[in-house]
Amino acid sequence: MEEKRTVCVTGASGYIGSWLVKRLLERGYHVRATVRDPGMEEKRTVCVTGASGYIGSWLVKRLLERGYHVRATVRDPGESSAGDEKKVKTLLELPKASTHLSLWKADLAEENSYDEAIQGCEGVFHVATPMELVHQGQDGEEEIESTTLNGILSIMRSCSKPKTVKRFVYTSTTGTITVQPQPPLHEYTEDLWTDVDLCYELKMYGWMYLVAKTTAEKAAWKYAEENGINMVTVHPSIVLGHFITPHTSFSTDVATAFYTRESCAGNEKKVKTLLELPKASTHLSLWKADLAEENSYDEAIQGCKGVFHVATPMELVHQGQDGEEEMESTTLNGILSIMRSCSKANTVKRFVYTSSTGTITVQAQPPLHEYTEDLWTDVDLCYELKMYGWMYLVAKTTAEKAAWKYAEENGINMVTIHPSIVLGHFITPHTSFSTDVATAFYTKNEANMALLKKLNGSNAVHLDDVCNAHIFLFEHPLAKGRYICSSHTVNLFEIAHSLSLKYPDRNILTEYVLEFS
């Protein structure tokens, strides 16, 4: 499996955002897509270790059924050619897996292996245990004890780092309770501990497993007490029941021996298209976030290497002056809130902000030769002229200036991309401002035709070029500053004429366009 690169995309259900997610997934990125309403209940994220095991797979299933978002750790997610895809295939096919489950590579024997999976989780269920060593002879004693003990302490250290884990649930066993020189008179209780010395003396079947689990649990309780971790342990005896993974467990092998004769050794429609994208089941997770809510993006961004901030309140473009304060506040506070989330995560290597040529092109005197990234829109002129969409231009310009100031003061590696009008087909079930206008030739919507007239002579760029530019600027090590992304000047007559020739059966309006082109 190639090294996982995790990025966050804000406004992922929007016109540009959805395509950006699509292109990132195609390039193998793991994408955390933020939307205001993922069409689900309030998200609770937990991590399950040993998720492809007998107990772990069932625990994942039950957590998904209860609406949890599950980060399932396995030793090999099967994303490389050498990976055991069959082992995790059943997890990916569980109900809600496409929207609520993500796989993370981790190994008990590797320190810090669980850091990324646990980061941002509210709960951790530590189920993983080296059961394959139960059957080994005395030679395996040191290995099983070391793996079990070091494994749980490594995971608990991973829980201590993000400061988000509210509870750590450890799957222990009744085997840490029941081995006693003298059985209790009435019942076994949670106050008892297995006598490790007796295990060494008797060397009963599985004694190393009992020693390892008892030693590990005692060390875990000590670590939890010293480091303020809210820990509970659950102690199942032999676990029986049908299995959902393609491999059996120790207990199911035993239980079936009679028969096998073997030995005992938020708005789902809005984001549906995102979830149906190629690789979405393994590389995409949805996160609820809102520009108007401080700290809303903390959890989604935590652990990400890159953040693409595409979200913007486009619905306010058409409002009158009454919406001025709301739009400017949402845009400005939104980007600063997201950048503060980047600072907290301390993992973000680059912040890519989708600005607009509208933060460059409004000038009292147009430049003699060309518009460059050194220019800034004249906000006072926008207030004076109050041209169509002036509030959007003021909000974006003000927000971008504030973002550059924050980036400089807080050491954030930021680049901005400035697309002109973005055209191209859309993959979300709702259209965008630019697609509504662009299709007015065909739909003959009067309001959109009026907007189309205002855009005659404007600049435009294809949606795919914009998304590829985002990824290029994120990946290129020398990228810095502001980048204009625009390729064409729109001539409405030429577009209408071209469309009428390409689609003669669509009755494309050309005469009306000619009147004002």
Pairing mode of beta strands 6-10, 69-74 = unpaired
- Among 230, 260, 290, the domain boundary falls at 260
Tell which residue, 88, 86, 123, has the closest CA to residue 105.
88
Range of the domain at 20: 1-40+267-420+459-486
The answer as to whether 191 is a domain residue is yes
**Phi then psi for 419, rounded to 5 degrees?**
-75, 150
Question: 340 with 377, same domain?
Answer: yes
Question: 334 with 230, same domain?
Answer: no
- E strands, 135-262, are 167-171, 231-234
Question: Measured between alpha carbons, how far is 310 from 515 in angstroms, rounded to an integer?
Answer: 36
| Positions in the chain short of pLDDT 70 | 1-4, 37-43, 78-87, 131-145, 243, 245-270, 314-328, 429, 431, 454-457, 490-493, 511-517
Question: Measured between alpha carbons, how far is 349 from 474 in angstroms, rounded to an integer?
Answer: 9
At residue 149, the pLDDT reads 87
CATH code: domain of residue 191: 3.40.50.720
Supply 311's token pair.
């979200």
Question: 197 with 284, same domain?
Answer: no
Q: Are 332 and 500 in contact (CB under 8 A)?
A: no
Q: What's at 489, amino acid-wise?
A: T
472-500 burial, b if ≥16 CB within 10 A, otherwise e? ebbeeeeeeebbbbbeeebebeebbbebb
What is the number of structural domains in the chain?
3
Question: 274 with 190, same domain?
Answer: no
Tell which residue, 355, 308, 356, 358, has the closest CA to residue 472.
308
Q: Which residue has the tokens 């959109």?
A: 448
The answer as to whether 67 is a domain residue is yes
At residue 83, the pLDDT reads 41
At residue 129, the pLDDT reads 78
The answer as to whether 425 is a domain residue is no
**Residue 228 CB partners (closer than 8 Å, separation 6+):** none
Q: Are 459 and 486 in contact (CB under 8 A)?
A: yes
Q: pLDDT, tens digit, for every residue of 189-206?
A: 999 999 999 998 988 888
The three-state secondary structure class of 309 is strand
Question: 68 with 5, same domain?
Answer: no
The 3-state secondary structure of 183-218 reads: CCCCCCCCCCCCCHHHHHHHCCCCHHHHHHHHHHHH
Question: Measured between alpha carbons, how far is 397 from 357 in angstroms, rounded to an integer?
Answer: 10
The three-state secondary structure class of 293 is coil
Question: 62 with 174, same domain?
Answer: yes
- Among 207, 238, 260, the domain boundary falls at 260
Question: 158 with 224, same domain?
Answer: yes
Question: Measured between alpha carbons, how far is 272 from 285 in angstroms, rounded to an integer?
Answer: 12
The answer as to whether 426 is a domain residue is no
Q: pLDDT, tens digit, for every residue of 114-128?
A: 999 999 999 999 998
Question: 50 with 28, same domain?
Answer: no
The answer as to whether 474 is a domain residue is yes
Tell which residue, 303, 276, 278, 297, has the closest CA to residue 4.
303
Q: What's at 396, amino acid-wise?
A: K
The answer as to whether 27 is a domain residue is yes
State the number of CA atoms in the 13 A half-sphere of 411 facing the CB.
Answer: 6
Question: Which helix (H) or strand (E) is 284 found in, with range?
Answer: strand 284-288
Q: Are 470 and 20 in contact (CB under 8 A)?
A: yes
The answer as to whether 508 is a domain residue is yes
At residue 412, the pLDDT reads 96
The three-state secondary structure class of 73 is strand
Supply 470's token pair.
């985002």
The three-state secondary structure class of 423 is strand
Torsion of CA 235, 238, 244, 249, to 10 degrees: 110
Tell which residue, 111, 104, 117, 118, has the closest CA to residue 75.
104
Question: 405 with 294, same domain?
Answer: yes
DSSP 2: P
Question: 402 with 469, same domain?
Answer: yes
State the number of CA atoms in the 13 A half-sphere of 72 facing the CB.
Answer: 35
The model's pTM: 0.58
- Among 226, 260, 294, the domain boundary falls at 260
**Residue 420 CB partners (closer than 8 Å, separation 6+):** 356, 357, 458, 459, 460, 461, 485, 486
Question: 482 with 442, same domain?
Answer: no
**Residue 28 CB partners (closer than 8 Å, separation 6+):** 2, 5, 279, 283
Question: 63 with 191, same domain?
Answer: yes
At residue 260, the pLDDT reads 39
